[in-house]
């Protein structure tokens, strides 16, 4: 979680310095979902992500250097500089895509799960999406087919209460995403998404069953997006969170308090320090990486 937090805080700074380009969506405050889910997965399990993808990529094992270089549009980026923040892919670590079209890749996760079954594997597929994606038709189409075909896919909803600028209450009368899918009868659970242990425990139950070929499952993680929808969002639509409320919500501070109380954590500042140093090395790596050659645009339109 510290690696994600430190990375994204630095990305925020670099966005304002125009070193990181484009539309940047940070997941600060939501790290427990990415960490709690991905730490239970194998490298060959597949993850699909969304426009708020940095945390999922890092948690799934993508190297910070490659992610940072991608955000800066460099040749050594994960996607050779052709994807950017919203379209991270790291096939080696099982991150098969992120999409800037809200909800657009939920069915792709079903397809990956179907492939796993048809090819005789036991890989599980996870797709991360926000509560805003649930109001799109493709979500309902996907839940219908996933349940009909009993696909080994785990739908992980990061319900942060806001779809872009608008609170969930202004988008739908159904408060919980787990209630939206209730008629389909799939196993589902809503957890405190800022409690990484709760996320991991609930996810691990689903993962065990999915590994055995069962599915689908839906894990709804109630969480909080500390930053705006995108970097630069003036956030006129909500009050800033009070510092004492953030202390209570912050998944990192919560885990640290728990670790200190339970005696298994000695020095939380060391984790933070190590993470920040690793991020600085990634920034240096990215800065030193060249921009991609001009010919790359034509080269990769089609696979050969």
Partner 1 sequence: MTETTYLKAITTTLAEAMRADERVLVLGEDVAEGGPWGATAGLVEEFGPERVRNTPISEAAICGIAIGAAQSGVRPVVEIMFIDFLTLALDQLVNQAAKAHFMSGGQLHVPLVVRTQGGAGQRGGAQHSQSLEAWLTHVPGLKVAMPSTAADAAGLLAAAIADPNPVVLVENKTLYFRREEAEEEPVSLGEARIVRRGSDVTVVALSRLVPEALDAAEELAADGIEVEVIDPRTLVPLDLEAILESVARTHRLVVAHEAVRTSGFGAELAAQVQEAAFDELDGPIERVGAPFAPIPFSPPLEDAYLPGRAEVVAAVRRALAR
> Which stretches of the chain bind partner 1, using CB under 8 A?
46, 48, 77-83, 87, 89-91, 96-97, 99-101, 104-116, 118-119, 125, 137-138, 141-142, 144-145, 148-149, 300-304
Contacts of residue 220, defined as CB under 8 A and 6 or more positions apart, other chains included, come to 157, 159, 176, 177, 178, 188, 189, 190, 191, 193
Contacts of 113 by beta carbon, 8 Å cutoff, 6+ apart? 46, 124, 125, 146, 151, 152, 153, 215, 216
Structure-derived torsion over alpha carbons of residues 126, 103, 110, 159, reported in degrees to the nearest 10: 40
| CA-wise closest residue to 143 among 204, 86, 211, 218 | 218
CB of 253 to partner 1, least distance (A): 36
Q: State the nearest-atom distance from the C-beta of 154 to partner 1, in Å.
A: 14
For the CB of residue 188, give the shortest distance to partner 1 in the complex, in Å.
19
Indicate the residue among 112 and 194 with the shorter CB distance to partner 1: 112
Shortest distance, CB of residue 163 to partner 1, whole angstroms? 18
* 55: nearest Cα among 177, 226, 291, 214: 226
> Do 142 and 106 touch, CB atoms closer than 8 A?
yes
- What is the Cα–Cα distance from 3 to 278, expressed in whole angstroms? 8
Type and span of the H or E element at 53: none
* Listed residue (253, 235, 224, 241) closest to 30, CA to CA: 224
Taking the complex as a whole, the smallest distance from the CB of residue 78 to partner 1 amounts, in Å, to 7
By C-beta, is 77 or 215 nearer to partner 1? 77
Give 40 or 113: the residue with its C-beta nearer to partner 1. 113
* Least Cβ distance, residue 144 to partner 1 (angstroms): 6
| DSSP state for residue 240 in the 8-state scheme | P
Nearer to partner 1, 26 or 109 (CB): 109
Nearer to partner 1, 2 or 128 (CB): 128
The nearest distance, CB 85 to partner 1, in angstroms, is 12
Output the CA torsion sign for 296, 231, 103, 37: positive
Q: How far is the CB of 270 from partner 1 (least distance, A)?
A: 35
Q: Which is nearer to partner 1, 79 or 275 (CB)?
A: 79
**Measured in whole angstroms, how far is the alpha carbon of residue 273 from the centre of its chain?**
23
Identify which of residues 113 and 222 has a Cβ nearer to partner 1 in the complex.
113
CA-CA distance, 62 to 73, in Å (whole number)? 16
Q: Which is nearer to partner 1, 112 or 178 (CB)?
A: 112
């Amino acid at each position: 979680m510290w690696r994600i937090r430190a990375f994204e805080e630095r990305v925020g700074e670099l966005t304002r310095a125009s070193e990181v380009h484009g539309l940047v969506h940070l997941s600060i405050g939501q790290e427990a979902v990415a960490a709690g889910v991905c730490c239970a997965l194998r490298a060959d399990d597949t993850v699909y992500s969304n426009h708020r993808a940095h945390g999922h990529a890092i948690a799934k094992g993508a190297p910070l250097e490659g992610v940072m270089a991608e955000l800066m549009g460099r040749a050594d980026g994960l996607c050779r500089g052709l994807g950017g923040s919203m379209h991270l892919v790291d096939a080696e670590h099982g991150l098969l895509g992120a999409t800037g079209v809200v909800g657009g890749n939920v069915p792709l996760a079903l397809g990956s799960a179907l492939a796993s079954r048809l090819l005789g594997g036991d890989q599980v597929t996870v797709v991360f999406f926000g509560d805003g994606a649930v109001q799109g038709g493709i979500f309902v189409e996907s839940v219908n087919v996933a349940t009909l075909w009993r696909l080994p896919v785990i739908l992980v909803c990061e319900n942060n209460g806001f779809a872009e600028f608008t609170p969930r209450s202004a988008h739908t009368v159904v408060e919980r995403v787990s209630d939206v899918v209730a008629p389909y009868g799939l196993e589902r659970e809503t957890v405190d998404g800022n409690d990484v242990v709760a996320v991991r425990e609930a996810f691990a139950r689903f993962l065990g069953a999915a590994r055995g070929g069962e599915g689908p499952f839906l894990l709804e993680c109630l969480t909080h997006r500390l930053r705006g929808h995108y970097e630069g969002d003036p956030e006129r639509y909500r009050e800033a969170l009070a510092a004492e409320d953030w202390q209570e919500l912050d998944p990192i501070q919560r885990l640290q308090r728990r670790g200190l109380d339970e005696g298994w954590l000695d020095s939380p500042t060391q984790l933070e320090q190590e993470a920040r140093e690793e991020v600085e090395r990634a920034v240096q790596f990215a800065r030193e990486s060249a921009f991609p050659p001009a010919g790359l645009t034509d080269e990769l339109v089609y696979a050969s």
